[in-house]
């Protein structure tokens, strides 16, 4: 089964996020949006600073997992819509690598739904991150 | 049987390739890991989960002939 592709090449632009918000102005049954933006941190580890993360994924399985997570969230919460985008390839420190956007008639639902989605994405989706330091050496990111 | 095996992230760094076809007559994933650890000795030092046909499975699962993947710790978001 072919699932919707959640992945975007490179960083997620703030313009894309802005346009995504604007597109919902016609959906007037929505009363509350909530947005999570994952940003690449310039962690300093033993004196070396992270400059970028290069993301790869087991794309077929990852898109299937994103689909499962979406379905689980729609079943659990009264959501009007939901959008998830994740970067592949290099994303520099300070840029956005994950964009999760939920909308509902009322606010309480979107707070809970967004946390549910982000936690499931972090734990269940086979995405891998190669953290490049400014000196071009690297280490592998592990979600806590 | 011939099994398509995929490697990701730091596992692909150890194998030097991202996928290969492996001829194998064993029964479980554990046996397949044993065979591949002979080819790639550093594999045993790495932490990974395994997927068969794009679902996480335990090492004592039986091989079905579907695609196998070595998945290092997840790092999405």
End-to-end CA distance of chain B: 37
How many domains are there within chain A? 1
Is the pLDDT assigned to residue A2 strictly greater than 80? no
Residue A120's domain comprises 7-141
Average the pLDDT over A93-121 and give the result: 98
Mean pLDDT value across chain A: 96
With an 8 Å Cβ cutoff, is A115 touching chain B? no
Residue A36 lies in a domain: yes
In a domain, A62, yes or no: yes
Do B56 and B42 meet the contact criterion of CB atoms below 8 Å apart? Answer: no
Q: Is A58 on the interface with B (CB under 8 A)?
A: yes
End-to-end CA distance of chain A: 31
pLDDT reading at A64 higher than 70:
yes
* Percent of chain A clearing pLDDT 70 (strictly above): 99
Q: Which residue of A has its CA nearest to B73?
A: A142
Assess if residue A1 is contained within a domain.
Answer: no
Q: What is the mean pLDDT of residues A75-80?
A: 98
Does A14 touch chain B if contact means CB atoms closer than 8 Å? no
| pLDDT of residue A6 exceeding 90 | yes
Distance from CA of B17 to the nearest CA of A (A): 14
ipTM: 0.95
DSSP string covering chain A = -PPPP-EEESPBPHHHHHHHHHGGGG-TT--EEEEEEEE----EETTEEEEEEEEEE-HHHHHHHHHHHHHHHHHHS--SEEEEEEEEEEEETTSEEEEEEEEESSHHHHHHHHHHHHHHHHHHS-EEEEEEETTS-EEEE---
Domains with residue ranges and CATH for chain B? 2-71 (3.10.20.30)
Residue A75 belongs to a domain = yes
Contact A128 B51 (CB under 8 A): no
Assess whether pLDDT exceeds 70 at residue A118: yes
Q: What is the CATH number of the domain that holds A66?
A: 3.90.1170.40
* Binary contact (B74, A38; C-beta < 8 A): no
Which residues, at least 6 apart from A1, have a Cβ–Cβ distance to it below 8 Å? A64
Q: What is the pLDDT of residues B4-55, one digit of tens each?
A: 999 999 999 999 999 999 999 999 999 999 999 999 999 999 999 999 999 9
Q: How far is B49 from chain A (nearest CA, A)?
A: 10
> Residues of A with CB below 8 A from B72's CB?
128, 140
Does residue A2 lie within any of the structural domains? Answer: no
Whether B77 and A126 lie within 8 Å, measured CB to CB:
no
User: Which residues does A46 contact at the CB level (< 8 Å), separation at least 6?
Assistant: none
pLDDT at A5 over 70: yes
Helix (H) or strand (E) holding B57: strand B55-57
Residue at A67 is within a domain: yes
Mutate which: A67, A84, A126, vs B, most B CBs within 10 A: A126
For residue A69, pLDDT over 90 is answered with yes
Cβ of B54 and A60 within 8 Å? Answer: yes
Q: Is the pLDDT of residue A144 over 90?
A: no
Q: Which two tokens stand for residue A59?
A: 């794309």
* Nearest chain B alpha carbon to A11: B77
- Bridge-partner residues for A49, per DSSP? A44
- pLDDT for position A126: 98
A27 inside domain: yes
The reply to whether residue A61 touches residue B8, judged by beta carbons under 8 angstroms, is no
- A1 pLDDT tier (thresholds 50, 70, 90): low
Residue A98 has pLDDT above 70, yes or no: yes
Question: Is residue A8 over pLDDT 80?
Answer: yes
Copy the structure tokens of residue A123: 């734990």
């Amino acid at each position: 089964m072919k699932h919707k592709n959640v992945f975007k090449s490179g960083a997620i632009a703030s313009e894309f996020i802005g346009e995504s918000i604007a597109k919902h102005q016609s959906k007037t049954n929505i009363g509350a949006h909530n947005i999570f933006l994952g940003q690449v941190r310039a962690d300093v580890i033993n004196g070396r600073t992270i400059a970028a993360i290069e993301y790869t994924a087991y794309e077929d399985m990852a898109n299937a997992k994103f689909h499962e997570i979406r379905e689980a969230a729609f079943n659990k919460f009264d959501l009007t819509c939901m959008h998830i985008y994740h970067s592949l390839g290099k994303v520099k420190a300070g840029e956005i690598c994950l964009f999760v956007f939920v909308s509902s008639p009322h606010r309480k639902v979107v707070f809970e739904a967004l946390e549910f989605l982000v936690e499931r994405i972090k734990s269940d989706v086979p995405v891998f991150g190669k953290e490049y330091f400014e000196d071009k050496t690297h280490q592998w990111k592990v979600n806590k | 049987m011939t099994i398509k095996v995929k490697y990701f992230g730091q596992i692909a760094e150890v194998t030097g390739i991202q996928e290969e076809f492996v001829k194998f007559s064993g029964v479980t994933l554990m046996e397949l890991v044993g065979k591949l650890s002979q080819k790639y000795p550093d594999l045993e030092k790495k932490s990974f989960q395994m997927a068969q046909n794009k679902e996480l499975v335990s090492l004592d699962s039986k091989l079905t002939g579907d695609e196998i993947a070595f998945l290092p710790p997840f790092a999405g978001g």
